[in-house]
Amino acid sequence: MDRFLLLSDGTVFKGRSLGAEGSTSGEVVFNTGMTGYQEILTDPSYAGQMVILTYPLIGNYGINEDDFESDRIQPTSLIVHEACESPSNWRSRQTLHELLVERGIVAIQGIDTRALTKHIRSKGVTLGAIADTQKEAESILSGAPSYDELDFVYQVTTRRAYKWGPAGRESIETEDDPKRPRLVVLDCGLKYNILRRFWAAGCRPIVLPATTPADEILDWQPDGILLSPGPGDPQRLKPVIETVKSLLGERPIFGICLGNQLLCHAVGGHTYKLKFGHRGSNHPVKDLKTGQVTITSQNHGYAVHQDSLKGTAAVVTQLNLNDGTVEGIECPDYQARSIQYHPEAAPGPWDSRPYFAQFVQEMSSRRL
Amino acid sequence: MKVFVIGSGPIVIGQAAEFDYAGSQACRALREEGCEVVLLNSNPATIMTDLGMADRLYIEPLNVEFCERIIARERPDALLPTLGGQTGLNLATQLADAGILEKYGVRTLGTPLSAIKMAEDRSSFRGLMREIKEPVPESWIIQTPDELQDLLDVAPYPCIIRPAYTLGGTGGGIANSREELWEIGNNGLKLSMRSQIMVERSLLGWKEVEYEVMRDSAGNCITICNMENLDPMGVHTGDSIVVAPSQTLSDVEYHMLRSASLRIIQSLGIEGGCNVQLAVNPDSFDYYVIEVNPRVSRSSALASKATGYPIARVAAKIALGKTLDEIENQVTGSTKACFEPALDYCVVKIPRWPFDKFTTGDRTLFTQMKATGEVMAIDRTFEDALMKAIRGLEVKTKDLRHTKFMGDPSEGIPPMPDDELKEMVRKPTDERLWALAEALRRDWGVDEVNRISRVDRWFLHKILGILEKEMSPSADPVSFKMVDTCAGEFESSTPYYYSTHELVGDQVAAPSHIC
């Protein structure tokens, strides 16, 4: 059945239906990774967005039980060239289409994703709507709220505190192994693999809602604090930024993605929206101290304003080799640092995994 | 700096002229960096021996004697050994071993010869892999029935038994159980002139995956491209139908193997390009490292054309000491060579075999490469790329129909009987693709054809889809899209295109490189 994608500038792409029946809208962004659609679909940082996958053959290895990064589908829609109907992989349990139907996600296939991606590249990310008729898409789009005016973090953060153990989520009442340093994770839109990697690195993650005040966080007597990734414009998160401000210097802090932007705001810097963001598994990042370049997994639409950090407690430690944007900052006085990319990968390269062990090491040495 | 480059010599069966391609790119890159290039190649029918590719050109035999005379006359500062294929590499090693490089003060550029020896020597390579905890297929040398008895409990089944020093491998076989290993093994010990057999884990039926990787002297490592073979393990990758990027690996599997490949080049200390071949269990996360080519290889040429990333050019600059983040990405003109290409299309390579010329040659494919060339096709779907590649082969058939299997009533040729077809589905030959198609056409089903051939179901479903749609080469492509290394993320100006059925093409700058 025909399905239409309408962009806010009036451009229409005609495709075929994929996933559930109905219509949807969101900010249209693209990801250039060639694998990882299951992880992308469940990454909370995609809340409110319709994701174009530039690789044309999607769904080849199906959907499995292990690679979910949260317990729901996060983007509002998925835009692909071809969705595979007969996937092949030993872990595959269902097709991409079946998953989307099961979770009620309206998606579209048969799109010239290269032409669409180039359109977004030149015009910037924009709102779009998907529906079975052009007319319906128009009416959906006219009623769609602007992406930048929504507070997605409060929608995706956990409602209740929980702990993470070897088998995954555990009740907040569960006992802790005293040998494992405690990491309080401020959940602004976590991916499970961050918790998996921190557990594997030897600490005990305790996940708290993004709205948890600083004193409650410190009541947990953490050895370190993680500012998680998450969706949306960091400037809108004033209360969370205030929380981070009060935590500065109290405990070692590590930030990932949105966490990098929150740390930037907490020291008085600011952020801005990129034209079409960084979303993919191939972004080169240069460490300014070592000169080493690492290939990283990225998913962000906002970036730290480098000049705004002048005179603050933060210094820039890493830069993107492609466009020179800020990829890492550090506040030496506060034992706080953060990176704009995703060391947990899922999807993407594993080259930045050492961060987990390093931070757990820092937390442990503080306990001694 | 004066750099001595050793070319690839004659193009022989088992090559696809890839070394001429790599060598030419390297000569250009060296001269771009201000080097004076002295080139030796015995084969004048090459691009690299064209006037203007090198500053000094010698068309002489590729041997130590001539090399020494050239070195004595030209007194080059350095030798670049890793861009002329195995021939150039072997010659460089011989020159080093004979003390000639030392005598004339010639240093080697790029990957150190010691690292190359490490990668090419079976036992030292296995030792290194064990050190960095990368799995290599287990193997044992057995010389007595007692040793064989001990092995029965620890051997992985199925395993391959190869008696040493027997004619044509008589007495070898595959054992699926203790009983079979005991029987075949004892038989092999009797038949072997030195009473010695090698027992090795069998990887028949596993997926074969390759990673094309690069490393610079500062230790920056990147993957250019990964590739998945349609033919499972057992066929030389040069004789295999190959698709890029991999299609049936999930993100976790893709990056598990990528990390393994990068660990390997990091531990070897490669400075330039390298190719890592892996066997992947289709039913688990298990994998084995099969082989490493510590130089620019046939696969590099394919990966280069498949991604638009100029591997040989970048490898030459790395050899001169430049780091990946200092080298410009020529394709976009605005980014650096230190990144991993993102493809927004599918690439299919089919080898071209000379069996139409050598009609009595044995068409069975195994571990010794028989192809003399290859075709590569790019399109937005696997089906379109495959059909394009088949047409590019310029063999009798232009699609998935083949009279040998289907028969031809007008010529009185009957269809191949099922039992014969089954054998053609099982046994890798240059015609297996058409045998697979015929079996699917006869409704054997994807699972059954997968069971017999071990070709991944994903490929079989796609072939079935082509048959169902009766796709023929009649549909004309309507636009040209660009191979830009970045899936459209950055504006690019490279004149490298492929044709496709989608309506919107990329602006065609200059019609030089139409694929």
- A134 shares its domain with A40: yes
Question: In this complex, is the C-beta atom of A59 within 8 Å of any C-beta atom belonging to chain B?
Answer: no
| A54–B488 C-beta distance less than 8 A | yes
Question: In this complex, is the C-beta atom of B182 within 8 Å of any C-beta atom belonging to chain A?
Answer: no
Give the model's pLDDT for residue B329. 85
Chain A residue numbers with beta carbons less than 8 Å from the beta carbon of B222 are 284, 295
Residue pairs between chains A and B whose CB atoms are closer than 8 Å: 160
Domain presence at residue B12: yes
Picking from A112, A293, A347, the nearest residue to B251 by CB comes out as: A347
Separation of first and last alpha carbons in chain B = 37
Whether A344 is a known active-site residue: answer yes
Picking from B343, B382, B503, the nearest residue to A34 by CB comes out as: B343
Give the model's pLDDT for residue B16. 64
- A228 shares its domain with A313: yes
CA distance B275 to B295: 7
Question: In this complex, is the C-beta atom of A60 within 8 Å of any C-beta atom belonging to chain B?
Answer: yes
Picking from B284, B338, B344, the nearest residue to A321 by CB comes out as: B338
- A218 shares its domain with A362: yes
- A138 shares its domain with A157: no
We report the CATH number of the domain holding residue A222 as 3.40.50.880
For A176, which DSSP code?
A: P
Domain presence at residue B156: yes
For B51, which DSSP code?
A: B
Q: What is the per-residue DSSP string for A25-77?
A: EEEEEEE--SS-HHHHHT-GGGTTEEEEESSSEE-TT-B-SS--SSSS--SSE
List A203, A257, A264, A331, catalytic entry = A257
- CB of A248 closer than 8 Å to CB of A219: no
- A192 shares its domain with A209: yes
Chain A residue numbers with beta carbons less than 8 Å from the beta carbon of B262 are 351
Give the model's pLDDT for residue B5. 94
Domain coverage including residue A44: 2-145
C-alpha distance from A60 to closest chain B C-alpha (Å): 6
- A90 shares its domain with A109: yes
- B41 shares its domain with B78: yes
Chain B residue numbers with beta carbons less than 8 Å from the beta carbon of A345 are 255
| A89–B251 C-beta distance less than 8 A | no
Chain B residue numbers with beta carbons less than 8 Å from the beta carbon of A297 are none
- A99 shares its domain with A160: no
Chain B residue numbers with beta carbons less than 8 Å from the beta carbon of A36 are 251
- A11 shares its domain with A139: yes
C-alpha distance from A92 to closest chain B C-alpha (Å): 9
- B73 shares its domain with B162: no
The helix/strand/coil state of A256 is strand
pLDDT tens profile A106-156: 999 999 999 999 999 999 999 999 999 999 999 999 999 999 999 999 999
We report the CATH number of the domain holding residue A78 as 3.50.30.20
Q: How far is CA A143 from CA A8, A140, B56, B117, in A?
A: 11, 5, 71, 67
Domain presence at residue B261: no
**Of A95, A123, A145, which residue sits at a domain end?**
A145
Question: In this complex, is the C-beta atom of B36 within 8 Å of any C-beta atom belonging to chain A?
Answer: no
- A102 shares its domain with A165: no
Cα-Cα-Cα-Cα dihedral sign, residues B252, B253, B255, B256: positive
- B7 shares its domain with B104: yes
Picking from A32, A64, A345, the nearest residue to B487 by CB comes out as: A32
Chain A residue numbers with beta carbons less than 8 Å from the beta carbon of B458 are 60, 84, 86-88
- A216 shares its domain with A350: yes
Picking from B284, B341, B481, the nearest residue to A114 by CB comes out as: B481
- CB of B382 closer than 8 Å to CB of B247: yes
- A127 shares its domain with A73: yes
CA angle (B35 as vertex; B32, B37 as ends), nearest 5: 105
Question: In this complex, is the C-beta atom of A317 within 8 Å of any C-beta atom belonging to chain B?
Answer: no
Nearest CA in chain B to A294: B220
Chain B residue numbers with beta carbons less than 8 Å from the beta carbon of A291 are 218
- b/e string for B66-88 if b means 16 or more Cβ within 10 A? ebbebbeebebbbbbbbbbbbbb
We report the CATH number of the domain holding residue B197 as 3.30.1490.20
ipTM tops 0.90 = yes
C-alpha distance from A347 to closest chain B C-alpha (Å): 6
Nearest CA in chain A to B284: A90
| Total domains present in chain A | 2
pLDDT tens profile B377-426: 999 999 999 999 999 998 888 999 999 999 999 989 999 999 999 999 99
Give the model's pLDDT for residue B475. 62
Domain coverage including residue B9: 2-109
List A81, A278, A300, A342, catalytic entry = A342
- B145 shares its domain with B102: no
Q: What is the mean pLDDT of each run of 10 residues along chain B (515 residues)?
A: 91 75 91 95 90 93 95 96 83 94 95 90 90 94 93 92 73 88 92 86 94 97 97 92 98 98 97 96 97 88 94 95 92 86 97 88 84 93 96 91 93 95 96 97 97 98 92 69 91 86 72 42
CA distance A153 to B394: 58
| B282–A87 C-beta distance less than 8 A | no
C-alpha distance from B256 to closest chain A C-alpha (Å): 8
Domain presence at residue B296: no
Domain presence at residue B115: no
- A28 shares its domain with A120: yes
Give the model's pLDDT for residue A353. 97
Picking from A38, A88, A348, the nearest residue to B457 by CB comes out as: A88
> What's the burial of B133, exposed, middle or buried (CB within 10 Å: 0-12/13-18/19+)?
exposed
| B486–A90 C-beta distance less than 8 A | no
Q: How far is CA B339 from the centre of its chain?
A: 21
We report the CATH number of the domain holding residue B43 as 3.40.50.20
pLDDT tens profile A186-213: 999 999 999 999 999 999 999 999 999 9
Give the model's pLDDT for residue B168. 58
User: Which candidate in A282, A289, A292, A352 is best for mutational testing of the B interface (most B CBs within 10 A)?
Assistant: A282
Nearest CA in chain A to B340: A282
Q: Going by C-beta distance under 8 Å and a sequence separation of 6 or more, which residues neighbour residue A190? A: A44, A70, A158, A207, A228, A229, A230
Picking from A86, A114, A292, the nearest residue to B344 by CB comes out as: A114
| B446–A57 C-beta distance less than 8 A | no
- B187 shares its domain with B103: no
pLDDT tens profile A248-277: 999 999 999 999 999 999 999 999 999 999
User: Which candidate in A53, A99, A109, A295 is best for mutational testing of the B interface (most B CBs within 10 A)?
Assistant: A295
**Of A126, A145, A164, which residue sits at a domain end?**
A145
**Of A113, A145, A177, which residue sits at a domain end?**
A145
Question: In this complex, is the C-beta atom of A133 within 8 Å of any C-beta atom belonging to chain B?
Answer: no
| B490–A121 C-beta distance less than 8 A | yes
| B382–A57 C-beta distance less than 8 A | yes
Nearest CA in chain A to B332: A322
Domain presence at residue B35: yes
Give the model's pLDDT for residue B512. 44
Domain presence at residue B245: no
Mean of the per-residue pLDDT values for chain A? 97
Show which of residues 85-104 on chain A sit within 8 Å of chain B, judged by CB atoms.
85-91
Taking alpha carbons only, the member of A57, A60, A51 closest to residue A81 is A57
Q: How far is CA B362 from CA A342, B12, B358, in A?
A: 52, 18, 9
Joined together, the tokens standing for residue B129 give 């892999």
CA distance B164 to B150: 19
| B250–A56 C-beta distance less than 8 A | no
Nearest CA in chain A to B461: A86
User: Which candidate in B226, B331, B489 is best for mutational testing of the A interface (most A CBs within 10 A)?
Assistant: B489
- B15 shares its domain with B97: yes
Nearest CA in chain B to A293: B220
Whether A342 is a known active-site residue: answer yes
For B486, which DSSP code?
A: B
**Of B183, B201, B219, which residue sits at a domain end?**
B201
Domain presence at residue B425: no
| Total domains present in chain B | 2
- B99 shares its domain with B143: no
